[in-house]
Amino acid sequence: MFDRPIWRWIAAALIWFSLSSGLAAQESTAFFEVESLNEGLGPPPETLDRATPQSSMEALLELKASGARETMAHLLDLSDIPPEEQPEQGPRLAADLVEVLDRKAVINWSELLERPDALETRGSSDNPVAGQVQRSILIDLVDLPGRPVAIRLNRLKPADGEPVWVFSRQTVANIPQMHALYGPTWIEEELPESWRQEVAWGLMWWELAGLPIMLALAGLAGWLVGRVQAMVANHVSSRALTDILQATRMPIILAVMTVAVMLFTDAVFIFSGRIDTVLTPLIAVGFTAAAVIFVLNGVDAVLNRIVPFDDDQLFDASMENRRNLATRLAAGRRILIVLITLIGGGIVLAESNLTGALGVSILASAGALTLLLGFAARHILGNILSSLQIAMNRSAKIGDTVLFRDYWCNVERINFTYVQLRSWTGARLVVPVSEFTSEPFENWTMREPSIIRKVEIRLAHDADVATLRDAFYEFVDSGEIDGLGERDSHMVLTTGHDVFGKTVTFCVACADANGSWTTSCAMREKLLERMAEIEGEGRTMFPQATPAEGA
């Protein structure tokens, strides 16, 4: 019987053999086998390091800086070029590739490993190549007419040599087309050599000077377009045309500025990748923002034609259906804003090429920031959901008369984050939507326009309530007070009593809640005048209270 330590040694040996076999199998497939590599260039210099993806990329950039274009050609797979043409085309293609990399690609150095097999040892659940050797690495995607093309480093093993990392033959085939689109423009080539020298952050002098000039010219173009639209609007008499000019002014200005930036970067100067990485999303944001504002302004113009939201007629008691329509249209507008914003955000992300490795890493690194922003914006999101809640349950409609925190107001606007109320004095009360929906309020026009207002008056202990009741109904029947409802709905009740006297409540039925406060005030004034007359006849009406008791 074998001892336990022997079994342990046998198990360890089996595990080591299986792992070494797996690594050997992986290493045997960790390159593309080719018969030969760049026969027309001759042997590469011994100092050229092409053993790892990182060393090949570093060598390409360093050789370009030093002007060793002939050596740079050894970093390309020139298999599709006849050997006799490789010495001439190879250096030119390599130099053109560097310019394309500088202007359109963002090199993610963390993906260019300093290992011959490019084995990713940093295990991660979201890394599909973790623990695997690689023989092809994507540097970036570059947009060409009709399709994006890849810039790749491949590991090739010629029959008579060791595996090396070079740019793939598909990448080499696309270099002329990429350089024609993103290489230096004729204006840049006419600049003095000193202006094309790098000065800071990998940027050249002309870029530092050209960027503010481009932004200034784009702003000037937008300002001129805005001035022209304003001049046209001042000389137009048609209301419809004026509405169109007002609705399209801001989106046209944004579109013109964005087009100016796009034309400048496409035809005048091709900025480096560091600037282009920022400009490309900004251009997409500019066009998206112009489209969003154009749609929203157009929708607002149409809605104002259907239901004028600033029309005081919405507060009329007979406009219940119009108030319902206005509230639904406002809710539809908010839903449309959310949809357009989501679609616009998707367009911006798609145009920004954030689907690549670098974009994914940027989004991943922004995860903590996203959580912080989400936490900070929780009140805004809550208000947005609350505004949609009001639209669905119709607890308050545009034009309704409400009593909120002892403020008698009309609902003027139900926006994303706040409700705009107009008090009887004309002052606007702005309330966050979440607070408006979480606190109780009285809606006087929710079901019916009529409402009963209470007028409470303190009387002396021996005051004759029946005399005041007769006076109350006399005022109701006389028609001197506008806005009163049916006679049977009015009541006079003694609702309280204490050492100072008794409280009599006069229930004033008002036909329209919008004018009920004024109606109740008029009734109180009439009652106090009649009480003063009765008091003058020698009958007690007002309670006799000393200043100390009144305090």
**Is the same domain home to 64 and 85?**
yes
pLDDT band at residue 376, thresholds of 50, 70 and 90? low
The β-bridge partners of 167 are 76, 153
Q: What is the DSSP letter of 487?
A: G
**Is the same domain home to 311 and 392?**
yes
Of 402, 433, 466, the position where a domain reaches its end is 402
pLDDT for the residue numbered 444 = 74
**Is the same domain home to 87 and 222?**
no
Assess whether pLDDT exceeds 80 at residue 459.
Answer: yes
pLDDT tens across 415-441, in order?
A: 777 888 888 777 888 888 778 877 888
Task: Report the alpha-carbon distance of residue 421 to residue 449 in Å, rounded.
Answer: 18
Q: 11 lies in which domain range?
A: 1-26
**Is the same domain home to 211 and 173?**
no
**Is the same domain home to 160 and 218?**
no
Asked, for residue 188, whether it belongs to a domain, the answer is no
**Is the same domain home to 232 and 320?**
yes
Asked, for residue 107, whether it belongs to a domain, the answer is yes
Sequence-distant (6+) residues with CB within 8 A of 128 are none
**Is the same domain home to 310 and 165?**
no
pLDDT for the residue numbered 202 = 62
3-state secondary structure 523-550: HHHHHHHHHHHHHHCCCCCCCCCCHHHH
What are the b/e assignments for 372-402, b being 16+ CB within 10 Å? eeeeeeeeeebbbebbbebbeeeebbbbbbb
User: Strands 164-167 and 136-144, how do they pair?
Assistant: unpaired
Asked, for residue 437, whether it belongs to a domain, the answer is no
Residue appearing with tokens 């696309």: 174
Of 385, 402, 419, the position where a domain reaches its end is 402
Average pLDDT over residues 204-212: 75
Half-sphere exposure of 128 (CA within 13 A, CB side): 3
What pTM does this model have? 0.52
One-character DSSP codes across 131-161: T---SEEEEEEEEETTEEEEEEEEEEEETTS
pLDDT for the residue numbered 105 = 76
Q: Please state which of the ranges 169-183, 387-401, 441-455 shows the lowest mean pLDDT.
A: 387-401
**Residue ranges of E strands in 191-321:** 198-200, 203-204
Integer-rounded Cα Rg, in Å, for the chain is: 40
Assess whether pLDDT exceeds 90 at residue 166.
Answer: yes
Query: In the chain, pLDDT over 90 holds for what percent of residues?
Result: 13
Between 240 and 402, the higher pLDDT residue = 402
pLDDT for the residue numbered 89 = 92
pLDDT for the residue numbered 315 = 54
**Is the same domain home to 12 and 39?**
no
**Is the same domain home to 290 and 380?**
yes
pLDDT band at residue 247, thresholds of 50, 70 and 90? confident
**Is the same domain home to 251 and 332?**
yes
Asked if residue 26 lies in contact with residue 132, where contact means CB atoms within 8 angstroms, the answer is yes
Of 343, 375, 402, the position where a domain reaches its end is 402
pLDDT for the residue numbered 25 = 44
Average pLDDT over residues 500-512: 88
Q: Please state which of the ranges 28-42, 99-113, 380-394, 448-462 shows the lowest mean pLDDT.
A: 380-394
CA-CA distances (angstroms) from residue 301 to 151, 163, 337, 354? 48, 67, 15, 36
Half-sphere exposure of 486 (CA within 13 A, CB side): 3
Asked, for residue 350, whether it belongs to a domain, the answer is yes
Asked, for residue 438, whether it belongs to a domain, the answer is no
The β-bridge partners of 411 are 421
Asked, for residue 522, whether it belongs to a domain, the answer is yes
**Is the same domain home to 267 and 391?**
yes
CATH number at residue 501: 3.30.70.100
**Is the same domain home to 228 and 361?**
yes
pLDDT for the residue numbered 19 = 46
Between 327 and 26, the higher pLDDT residue = 327
Q: Please state which of the ranges 5-19, 318-332, 393-407, 473-487 shows the lowest mean pLDDT.
A: 5-19
* Structure tokens given for 57: 């990329």
Asked, for residue 496, whether it belongs to a domain, the answer is yes
Q: How does the average pLDDT of the chain come out, rounded?
A: 77
Sequence-distant (6+) residues with CB within 8 A of 359 are 352, 353
Would you give the distance in Å from CA 205 to the centre of its chain?
A: 34
Residue type, 485: G
pLDDT for the residue numbered 16 = 52
pLDDT for the residue numbered 364 = 47
Asked, for residue 389, whether it belongs to a domain, the answer is yes
pLDDT for the residue numbered 103 = 77
pLDDT tens across 9-55, in order?
A: 565 555 554 444 444 444 446 888 888 888 888 888 889 999 999 99
Q: Please state which of the ranges 3-12, 48-57, 86-95, 388-397 shows the lowest mean pLDDT.
A: 3-12
Count of domains forming the chain: 4
Would you give the distance in Å from CA 111 to the centre of its chain?
A: 30
pLDDT band at residue 525, thresholds of 50, 70 and 90? very high
pLDDT tens across 62-74, in order?
A: 888 888 889 999 9
